[in-house]
C-alpha cells in the first residue's frame, strides 16, 4: 500500500544520537507539525483541542530501503540478547513505522501548524496519521512487560560550563527555544551504547546537534558536563 506524508514534524533532533528512547520521557522536547500542501486546510484543525494527547504514526525515514534483520538487541536488555523485532520498539523494523504519544501544546490556525511536547523523532520525519489518544481504550492499565514496565530513571546530574550556559541562554532568548531545559532533561539519561555504560572510565567526548547548536559533553561518574555549545 502506498501512504503519503500528511505532515512533517520539525523537532530539536537533527541527528539520531541522544534522541529520547520513547515519547513523553522528555517533555521539554517540542516538535512543530507542518501539514503537507494537500492537507493545508483549516478544517483539519477543527475539534483537535478536544483531546490533550495524540498518537502520531510517523516514519523512520532514514531507514527506508535498508535491509532489516528478523531480530534486534534492545538496549534495555543490555544490548546482548536478540529478540524478534516485533517484541521491541526498535526503529529497525519492517515498514519503518514509528508510533508516539505526544501532548498537544498549541494549534496555530494562521500558519496551520501544531505544537506537540514529548516528541522523540528526528527532525523532518514524515507523519502518516494523527489520532486522538482515547483514555479508556489506550491507557491499558492491565498491560505488563517483563523488561519495559518501569519509567526510565535519570542516570546523571547535568552541569554546564559557564561559557556554555551563557551561549545557551543567549540562544534561547534569541530563538524562543528552551534548549537549556531540554539539555538538562535529555542528558540526564544515558544515551551511550550498552558496552560504553559498563566501562569503568569514559574519556570520550560525546556530541550531537540540537536545533542549530552543536553540543558536546563528557561523562564522569554520575555527572554529565556540557563542555561546548557552538551555534552555527
Q: Which of residues 144-203 bind a second copy (CB under 8 A)?
A: 144-152
Residue 83 binding a second copy, by CB under 8 A: yes
**What minimum distance in Å lies between the beta carbon of 156 and a second copy?**
19
- The count of chain residues that interact with a second copy, using the rule CB under 8 A, is 71
Looking at beta carbons only, is 127 or 219 nearer to a second copy?
A: 127
Contact yes or no for 62/138 (Cβ under 8 A): no
Under 8 Å between Cβ of 10 and 32: yes
Q: How far is the CB of 21 from a second copy (least distance, A)?
A: 9
Least distance (Å) from a second copy to the CB of residue 15?
A: 21
Q: Which residues pair with 210 in a beta bridge?
A: 13, 213
Contact flag: residue 143 with a second copy (CB under 8 A): yes
> CB of 56: closest distance to a second copy in angstroms?
10
C-alpha distance from residue 157 to each of 165, 169, 188, 193, 231 (Å): 15, 19, 6, 19, 24
Among 11, 59, 179, 213, which residue sits at the site for a second copy (rule: CB under 8 A)?
59
Residue 133 phi, psi (nearest 5): -75, 120
Separation of alpha carbons 232 and 213, rounded Å: 6
Enumerate residues 87-126 that contact a second copy by CB under 8 A: 87-89, 93-97, 99, 101, 126
- Find the Cα–Cα–Cα–Cα dihedral 210, 215, 220, 222, rounded to 10°: -30
Shorter beta-carbon distance to a second copy: residue 43 or 174:
43
Indicate the residue among 70 and 201 with the shorter CB distance to a second copy.
70
- For the segment 28-47, give every residue that binds a second copy (CB under 8 A): 39, 41, 43-47
Name the minimum Å distance from CB 132 to a second copy.
6
Q: How many residues does the chain have?
A: 232
Question: Contact between 17 and a second copy (CB under 8 A)?
Answer: no
Q: CB-based contacts of 209: which residues, under 8 Å, 6+ apart?
A: 14, 15, 215
Block residue for cell numbers 495524540: 54
Please identify which residue in 78, 106, 124, 135 interacts with a second copy, judged by CB under 8 A: 135
| Distance, CA of 219 to CA of 156 (rounded, Å) | 9
Amino acid at each position: 500500500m502506498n501512504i503519503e506524508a500528511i505532515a512533517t514534524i520539525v523537532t530539536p533532533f537533527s541527528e539520531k544520537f541522544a534522541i529520547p528512547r520513547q515519547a513523553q520521557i522528555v517533555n521539554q522536547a517540542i516538535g512543530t507539525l507542518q501539514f503537507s500542501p494537500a492537507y493545508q486546510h483549516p478544517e483539519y484543525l477543527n475539534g483537535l483541542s478536544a483531546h490533550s494527547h495524540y498518537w502520531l504514526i510517523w516514519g523512520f525515514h532514514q531507514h527506508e530501503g535498508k535491509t532489516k534483520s528478523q531480530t534486534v538487541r534492545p538496549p534495555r536488555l543490555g544490548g546482548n540478547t536478540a529478540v524478534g523485532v516485533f517484541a521491541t520498539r526498535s526503529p529497525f523494523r519492517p515498514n519503518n513505522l514509528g508510533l508516539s504519544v505526544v501532548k498537544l501544546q498549541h494549534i496555530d490556525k494562521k500558519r496551520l501548524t501544531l505544537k506537540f511536547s514529548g516528541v522523540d523523532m528526528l527532525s523532518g520525519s514524515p507523519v502518516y496519521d494523527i489520532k486522538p489518544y482515547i483514555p479508556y481504550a489506550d491507557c491499558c492499565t492491565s498491560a505488563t512487560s517483563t523488561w519495559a514496565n518501569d519509567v526510565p530513571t535519570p542516570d546523571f546530574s547535568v552541569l554546564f560550563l559557564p561559557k556554555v550556559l551563557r551561549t545557551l541562554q543567549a540562544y534561547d532568548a534569541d530563538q524562543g527555544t528552551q534548549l537549556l531545559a531540554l539539555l538538562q532533561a535529555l542528558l540526564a539519561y544515558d544515551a551511550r551504547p550498552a558496552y560504553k555504560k559498563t566501562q569503568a572510565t569514559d574519556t570520550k567526548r560525546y556530541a550531537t546537534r540540537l536545533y542549530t547548536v552543536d553540543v558536546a559533553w563528557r561523562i564522569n561518574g554520575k555527572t554529565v558536563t556540557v563542555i561546548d555549545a557552538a551555534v552555527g
